[in-house]
Structures are given as C-alpha cells and as structure tokens.
Amino acid sequence: MSPATIFQLHLVLGYVPWLLCFGAYVWPRLEAMDRIEAQRAIATLHSFRFFGLVFLMPGVVGPNLPAGFATFAAYGDFTAGVLAMLALGTVRTPRLFSLLVVAFNLVGAADILIDYYHGIQSGLPALAGELGAAYAIPIVYVPLLMITHVAAFYLLLRPRRKAALAGAA
C-alpha cells in the first residue's frame, strides 16, 4: 500500500473508534447534562487546540510539509482553542458564553473542513510523512474534534426539554 493510501485510510478509520466510544459513553452523558455544562465539557476538550501550532515547529514536522496547509491548520486550531478558552472563562455570563460557544464551534468546524480541503489540494496524502510527530493529530485527535463540533451544534439547536422549561417558569 502506498503512503498516501495508508494516510487516507487512517483519516477515515480515525472516525470509527471515536464514533463508537462517543456513542456508547460520551453522548449519553452529554445529552443528560444541563446545556451549559455539556457545552462546557466540549469547550474544555477544544481548549487544547493551541497544540495545532505544532504544525509550524521545525523538527516536529518535516521541511516539505506544504506551507499553505501547515499555516492555516496551525492558526485555525489556535484560534478555535483560544475561543474555547474564552468561552470557559465566561461561563458565569450565559449570553457571552453562548456566543463564544457558537464562535469556537463555527471557527473550529470550518478549520477542520478547510484543512481537509487544503490537505487534498496540496497533495498532503503523498507527503504525510512530512507531518512527523504531528501525524497523530489528524488521525487521532481531529475526528474527536469534528464529532464534538457536530454534537455541540446539535445541542445548540435542539429545543429545550419540557422539564427544563417548566423548571424555568
């Protein structure tokens, strides 16, 4: 198998164990939580996205990693991570917290989708070895991030439960 095929297989299969784990263990708990607490848990995971700056670290990634991919991926992740941290810092101000939750999820999901596009456009599958130690990020970490973005959007758009509305009244 070629390195490009292995990389693409890794990208796709990276979603399978996370979807199984998320569906069995994480989603039932998130769905049962208060809306703010569920979003807070998701924001905590995304606050580690500052780690995406590793795509700019010589010696961690190879010198032939496409700059267009690396730069956008690094700063997109960093931006999403900072927005998630800001959301966590404003949890006691519900409107601001909600605004920042929407912001980090929009920025973060767009970053991942655009990174996939840039990766394909720049021929990243054939150059996957240039990811060096950062290879695990798109294979192991990114699928969980995308799954939690989808969950966060679902939780944001889901109508409030009747019990929650009755308690608020």
For position 161, what pLDDT does the model report? 65
Q: What distances in angstroms separate CA 157 from CA 2, 6, 7, 39, one per listed residue?
A: 42, 36, 34, 12
103-141: string of b/e by CB count within 10 Å (b at 16+)?
Answer: bbbebbbebbeebbebbeebebbebbebbbebeebbbeb
- The per-residue pLDDT for 167 is 53
| Cβ–Cβ < 8 Å for 74, 52 | yes
In a domain, 40, yes or no: yes
The answer to the question of residue 19 being in a domain is no
Average of per-residue pLDDT across 97-114: 98
* Residue 85 maps to a domain: yes
- pLDDT value at position 162? 54
pLDDT in tens, 28-51: 999 999 999 999 999 999 999 999
Q: Is there a domain that residue 21 lies in?
A: no
Q: Which of 85, 64, 72 is nearest to 131 (CA)?
A: 64
pLDDT tens for each residue of 125-167: 999 999 999 999 999 999 999 999 999 999 999 887 654 555 5
Range of the domain at 154: 3-12+29-55+66-161
Instruction: Tell me, yes or no, whether 60 lies in a domain.
Output: no
- Total domains in the chain come to 1
Domain membership flag for residue 17: no
Per-chain mean pLDDT for the chain: 94
Residue 147: inside a domain, yes or no?
yes
Specify the range with the lowest mean pLDDT, choosing from 58-62, 96-100, 157-161: 157-161
Residue with tokens 């973060």: 108
Q: Is 51 domain-assigned?
A: yes
In Å, what is the CA distance from 135 to each residue of 54, 107, 154?
A: 11, 22, 29
Res. 88: pLDDT tops 80: yes
The alpha helices in the chain, defined as continuous H runs, are 3-13, 15-21, 27-32, 35-46, 67-89, 94-121, 136, 142-157, 162-168
